[in-house]
Structure 1
Amino acid sequence: MLGNLIKAEFRKTTTTGLWWGLLIPTVLIALGWALGTGFVGKNIMDAVNSSDAEELTRLLGIDPSQWQVSLFGMARSINIATIFPMIFGGLAISTEINRRTITTTFLTAPNRVSALSAKLVVYVLWGAIYGLAIVAAVSIGIALTSDSSSLPDAAGWLAMAGVGVLASVLMTMFGVGVGALMTSPVGTTVVLVLYMLLIENGLQLVVSTQGLPELVGFLPNGSVNGLTGSVAASLFLSTAGVVPDDLVEVLRAIAGALGAFDWWLSGLVFLAWTALFFLGGWAVTQRKDIT
């Protein structure tokens, strides 16, 4: 029975234009950011490798030829692009409740637990689909504008691809939970975008200026950014040779992992936020009267 519900739910999402309407800007944003950050990284490396900077790098004992700066562009591009699968997830139940199309789902399913379980599976799959599209677009953009020496090796690319898809899945489910709690498509979209792009960035600036950057790793956006950012910073540092300790936190901040923990711990923190909102939305939807 659950298999039939999953098929029906997936068919329901593909019969509307929402999935491709959001997938197009997702790919364009991911590609655009990758092209831009790759271009900036290339210019930085050209400056560092210039004859004017050669003596300085020699005195510092560093070898810029080992700097895989494209990793920072990949992390940043993935982070910004996952806003769209989050919005896609946020419109999942909120749109159905708002338009009352969820009534049919609940009436034809054996119970609401089965119906919501099918939604869980389907939107995890959609999160993975969006994640693969994001990783592909970012990889193309970075490869087109970066020098081959600044690109990660196969293992590094797979690591970034893995956390990129994971971040997309978690962001999708985070959006589903918030949408189920708010039930308003417009309200859900506005709240998610404002919080992720403005409010939390303001909070991060405040706690950082107060000398408490470690608190950033406990916030939703800070923790999900820590997934890709921590991996990017770790991969960069593993091949960069000697890097002064004072620059390590600067590099983590550039990667988007300021105050974040290791990637797996950042993932667990954001998973806790995702579970909190998803289970809250699940509970509200379970008790809500559908007419």
Structure 2
Amino acid sequence: MLGLIRAEFRKIFTTNLWWALLIPVALLGFGAGWLGTAVVAIIDMVEQFNRSVPLGLLSVSMSTNFSTIFAALFGAMAYAGEHRNKSITTTYLTGNPRGAVLCAKLVAYGAVGFVYGLTNVLSASLGGLLGAGQDFRNFGDPVDWISVGAAGVLAMVLWTLLGVGFGALVANAVLAIIVPLVYKFVVEFILSLGLMDSHAAGIGPYLPGAAGNGIVSNLAVPLFVAAVAGPDEPNIPRAAFEFLHLFFGGDYGHPWWASLLTFAVYTALFITGGWLISRRRDIA
């Protein structure tokens, strides 16, 4: 098993895909961090607040929810790329049984997904520091920042693993790229609009993309609102939450851990489906 895992790492690091997809993750993280805290600095010039405005928390949420698609694409190419290059035949012949190959890919790609998540959080932190003029108050309470950052890393790992399962399911490089992009940014967007103000609106938080986004957003938004409102304003209007969720993802009143469990189920289903299909698929 260790040999299979080492082989997967060699496959990853001898190609350009892993760092090519890491670059937009770093840029999105840095840009979102810089923009978020720069906005706070501008607001603070106009009106002095007696407490911090930790837009850095929302910046991590935004950058994570945009960057996870790159982690999913990276994971999807775990199988789809090998089918395209015809190297899957050698992989299966030397790594029998096929379930062991899947496990090795999950470990190796999950580890790189962790690097993606960490890069996103560190880039957002660096961008936030520069945007705020090295003012740490815009990151909020350190515990809140670490919690949101950890949730972002976890979300990135899960999206990577879901991508591995999807790649095993379709075994087609074109589909592995197009389907996740179209679903996340087109299909689910249309579904979400259709569910708004309908009797089935409660389904929205359980859609795959919404659940994946909610891992971070449903944690970051309440922490941000609580930090801005302070302990003296316990009755925060629902509209404040809904406005922020509209831009930064997530759903009002839906806990982050429920989004985590929902998305973990989707990840497990794709991995299981990929395993069942790949173990019966003919190879040339």
Counterpart among 176, 180, 191 of residue 179 in structure 2: 191
Return the letter of the residue paired with 1:75.
S
Distance 1:189 1:31 in 2: 25
Q: Report the TM-score, using the length of structure 2 for normalisation.
A: 0.90
Q: Is the 8 A contact 1:85 1:171 kept in 2?
A: yes
Structure-1 residue corresponding to 2:251: 258
Matched, 1:92 2:78: yes
Distance 2:96 2:241 in 1: 54
Structure-1 residue corresponding to 2:146: 158
Map 1:59-98 to 2 at 5 A. 65-98=51-84
Structure-1 residue corresponding to 2:237: 245
Distance 2:258 2:150 in 1: 15
Distance 2:52 2:245 in 1: 17
Q: Is the 8 A contact 1:78 1:138 kept in 2?
A: no
Structure-2 residue corresponding to 1:274: 267
Structure-1 residue corresponding to 2:276: 283
Structure-2 residue corresponding to 1:59: none
Q: Is the 8 A contact 1:30 1:80 kept in 2?
A: no
Counterpart of 2:154 in 1: which secondary structure? Answer: helix
Structure-1 residue corresponding to 2:29: 30
- Which stretch has the larger CA shift, 240-249 or 224-233? 240-249
- Offset of 1:37 from its aligned partner? 3.2
Q: Is the 8 A contact 1:10 1:122 kept in 2?
A: yes
Deviations 1:119-163 (A, max 9, x none): 111111111111111111111112221354332222112101110
Distance 1:227 1:41 in 2: 24
- Offset of 1:211 from its aligned partner? 6.7
- Offset of 1:77 from its aligned partner? 1.2
Q: Report the TM-score, using the length of structure 1 for normalisation.
A: 0.88
- Offset of 1:173 from its aligned partner? 1.1
Distance 1:46 1:219 in 2: 40
Counterpart of 2:251 in 1: which secondary structure? Answer: coil
- Offset of 1:248 from its aligned partner? 3.0
4+ runs of 1 displaced by more than 4 Å? 44-47
Structure-2 residue corresponding to 1:139: 125
Cα RMSD for the two superposed structures: 2.0
Q: Is the 8 A contact 1:230 1:255 kept in 2?
A: no
Deviations 1:164-214 (A, max 9, x none): 110000111111122222211122111111111222122212212437543
Distance 1:35 1:67 in 2: 14
Unaligned runs of 5+ in 1: 51-62
- Offset of 1:45 from its aligned partner? 4.7
Q: 1:210 to 1:46 in 2, by over 3 A?
A: farther
Q: 1:42 to 1:186 in 2, by over 3 A?
A: farther
Distance 1:149 1:211 in 2: 42
Structure-1 residue corresponding to 2:93: 107
Return the letter of the residue paired with 2:167.
G
Return the letter of the residue paired with 1:270.
F
Counterpart of 1:29 in 2: which secondary structure? Answer: helix
Q: Is the 8 A contact 1:71 1:232 kept in 2?
A: yes
